[in-house]
Structure 1
């Protein structure tokens, strides 16, 4: 990751819209390689760090887990085929669609329950009743 353009963590944060503590976290877990440091101990990031961090940020925005991002980065670094990356993306898409289905079910349940509630000052509340019920197996 040698690059002539070196900048500090604050500048990297600004250029990538990633919080400084998140950058440090990604370094600790190995998603972002640790940069060289100055004699004073300050990190010096390169353009390669910036590009990788943008990749990580965009992946997170699309809902990829840390493990999935590790996998994607492993593919990128190890010489990947488009088909391999597509397989990861399609698997992730299945998970997203499952979550959307679950969210729609939760929305219907909560909307139906809230519609049965008259509000007011009565201690009887269908919302509390539904939240107190055991789940059916």
Structure 2
């Protein structure tokens, strides 16, 4: 199948597939000698589905590489369990950060209850106030929820 068909089967873009190939997560397919198109096989589809499922769980490319390598080994699954346990701890940490952020935003929202002028807006006054910042929360909104690399 061609790259567009593969993308359609998995529900991602062609660019995503090319990115996974560049990152070494997805093996590059052979090219058709007649038209030079990439020819993807069923194993590419299975691997891409695996990668996409891992990404939907928030796993990093390194974590996915580890899991992909583990699929081809005959060892026990202790390493896989440890990887998922560690990832779960990161997710739990992110949840706590988000709960803290939610509380702070709720408290901030309470600073302005009416439709007063901008000059007397309690939210703006609170944001202008010299107050200590919560470390790590500046990354929550930018999509970098967890300050630790995993």
Which bracket does the TM-score occupy, shorter chain normalised?
Answer: 0.7 to 0.9
Of 20, 33, 36, the match for 1:41 = 36
TM-score if structure 2 supplies the norm length?
0.79
Give the corresponding residue for 1:96.
91
Contiguous gaps of at least 5 residues in structure 1: 1-6
- Rounded Cα–Cα distance in structure 2 between residues aligned with 1:41 and 1:95: 43
Query: Are residues 1:15 and 2:9 paired?
Result: yes
User: Do 2:111 and 2:126's aligned partners in 1 also have CA atoms closer than 8 Å?
Assistant: no
Closer/same/farther in 2, CA of residues 54 and 136 from structure 1, 3 Å limit: closer
Where has structure 1 moved over 6 Å in runs of 4 or more? none
Compute the RMSD of aligned alpha carbons. Answer: 1.8
Matched residue SS, 1:123: helix
Give the corresponding residue for 1:3.
none
Question: Larger deviation: 114-123 or 56-65?
Answer: 114-123
Give the corresponding residue for 1:4.
none
TM-score if structure 1 supplies the norm length?
0.86
- Rounded Cα–Cα distance in structure 2 between residues aligned with 1:30 and 1:46: 17
Contiguous gaps of at least 5 residues in structure 2: 136-150
Q: Count residues with an aligned counterpart.
A: 131
- Rounded Cα–Cα distance in structure 2 between residues aligned with 1:10 and 1:59: 21
Of 114, 121, 125, the match for 2:117 = 121
Closer/same/farther in 2, CA of residues 14 and 113 from structure 1, 3 Å limit: same
- Cα shift at 1:69: 0.9
